[in-house]
Amino acid sequence: MESGPVVSNEAAQQLLASADYVAERRLATAVFLALRLGRPLFLEGEAGVGKTELAKALASALGRSLIRLQCYEGLDIASAVYEWNVQRQMMAIRLAEASGRAREGALERDLFSAAYLVKRPILRALESSAQGLPPVLLIDELDRADEPFEAYLLEVLSDFQVTIPELGTIRAEHPPIVVVTSNRTREIHDAIKRRCLYHWVDYPSAQSELEILRRKAPGAAEALSREVVAFVQRLRAMDLYKAPGVAETIDWTRSLLLLDSITLDPQTVSDTLGALLKYQDDIARLRGEDIAALLTEVKARVTA
């Protein structure tokens, strides 16, 4: 169901909460401003802090469709914006030649019409606004794409339009809600950031992460959830190759529920580290630590 207009940062916070996304005040303020100003929202932060999930929650809460462009090395216009259906074009040429109707000018105009156009995420996001509510366009992990593609995005984010030489310029009647994410594996050009509202998404506070578990793993006892959050927060303070993200916290809690755990103990922690840590060096390091002593510290913090 479509939500009403977002009139304050508190309303933005409640809007996201309606889709089970726990947003701290600064992030909710960034979302509110992006919606009201019609500017793209650029979210940067470590992997697993909830950047992609925010776009999904925003689309769900607003009753909009989500169009996702997953970026990767080598991403080009054909994969991101549009390409021509060459197979269909060749088939049309053969049929026209066989029937004796292959008039060059008319055939060329037909071959480069919308009927032979394959629309990729960006073009779909610009065109779909004319058919109803503008969608949420998620440009995910832009830092994985090459710089030439990043430069191409400037036209899209500046004027919400793309130019197809054979058809002309296609402009969004109502611009989509754009969320751009980056894990900061490389710096994104300032020209992109200037066209967006910027927000660094950090790991959630213990209180926020506990609220996330209440929503995403409601079967977990309050005591277990508090121990899990305290343990994960403690791990993030360690010098690990990859600290556990929010998704790992949720997965670990659900794993503990399947094992009928009601509290953390050294053996269970050791057995389930693969749900929490994703690199063998990190797992080996934690197993090399005194997990019992770490748990004693965590439990003391929870009961304090």
pLDDT number for residue 111: 84
Domain 9-75+122-200 fold is Rossmann fold (3.40.50)
Question: What is the rounded average pLDDT for all residues in the chain?
Answer: 90
| pTM for the predicted model, two decimal places | 0.88
pLDDT number for residue 204: 95
Distance CA 146, CA 63 (A): 32
Distance CA 138, CA 9 (A): 21
Tokens coding 232: 């994960």
- 3-state SS, residue 188: coil
Percent of the chain exceeding pLDDT 70 equals 94
Helix residue spans in 68-184 (DSSP H):
77-80, 86-99, 104-111, 121-128, 147-159
Examine the pLDDT at 89 and tell me if it is beyond 70: yes
Examine the pLDDT at 65 and tell me if it is beyond 90: yes
pLDDT number for residue 131: 56
Examine the pLDDT at 6 and tell me if it is beyond 90: no
Of 176, 292, 275, 286, give the one whose Cα is nearest residue 240: 286
Task: Point out the least confidently predicted range of 43-47, 205-209, 246-250, 299-303.
Answer: 299-303
pLDDT number for residue 130: 53
Q: Do 118 and 86 form a contact (C-beta atoms < 8 A)?
A: no
Of 172, 178, 184, give the one whose Cα is nearest residue 197: 178
- Per domain, the residue ranges of the chain are 9-75+122-200, 82-114, 206-299
Q: Which has more pLDDT, 26 or 94?
A: 26
pLDDT number for residue 112: 84
Q: Do 63 and 1 form a contact (C-beta atoms < 8 A)?
A: yes
- Over the stretch 203-218, which tens digit does the pLDDT of each residue have? 999 999 999 999 999 9
At residue 83, what are phi and psi to the nearest 5 degrees?
A: -155, 165
Examine the pLDDT at 101 and tell me if it is beyond 70: no
- Over the stretch 252-264, which tens digit does the pLDDT of each residue have? 999 999 999 999 9
pLDDT number for residue 100: 65
Element (H, E) at 227: helix 222-236
Q: How far is CA 5 from the centre of its chain?
A: 23
Tokens coding 210: 């506990």
Examine the pLDDT at 193 and tell me if it is beyond 50: yes
For residue 285, give every residue at least 6 positions away whose Cβ sits within 8 Å of its Cβ, in sequence order, or none. 240
Examine the pLDDT at 104 and tell me if it is beyond 80: no
pLDDT number for residue 115: 87
Q: How confident is the model at residue 133 (pLDDT cuts 50, 70, 90)?
A: confident
Percent of the chain exceeding pLDDT 90 equals 73
Using left for φ > 0, alpha for ψ between -120 and 50, and beta otherwise, residue 74 falls in left
At residue 160, what are phi and psi to the nearest 5 degrees?
A: 50, 55
Amino acid identity for residue 42 in this structure: F
Examine the pLDDT at 251 and tell me if it is beyond 80: yes
Mean pLDDT of 143-162: 90
- 3-state SS, residue 145: coil
Mean pLDDT of 6-21: 93
CA angle 46, 224, 275 (to 5 degrees): 45
**Strand ranges of the sheet holding 136-140, from the earlier edge strand across to the other edge:** 66-70, 136-140, 177-182, 41-44, 197-200
Examine the pLDDT at 275 and tell me if it is beyond 90: yes
Task: Point out the least confidently predicted range of 55-64, 148-157, 228-237.
Answer: 148-157
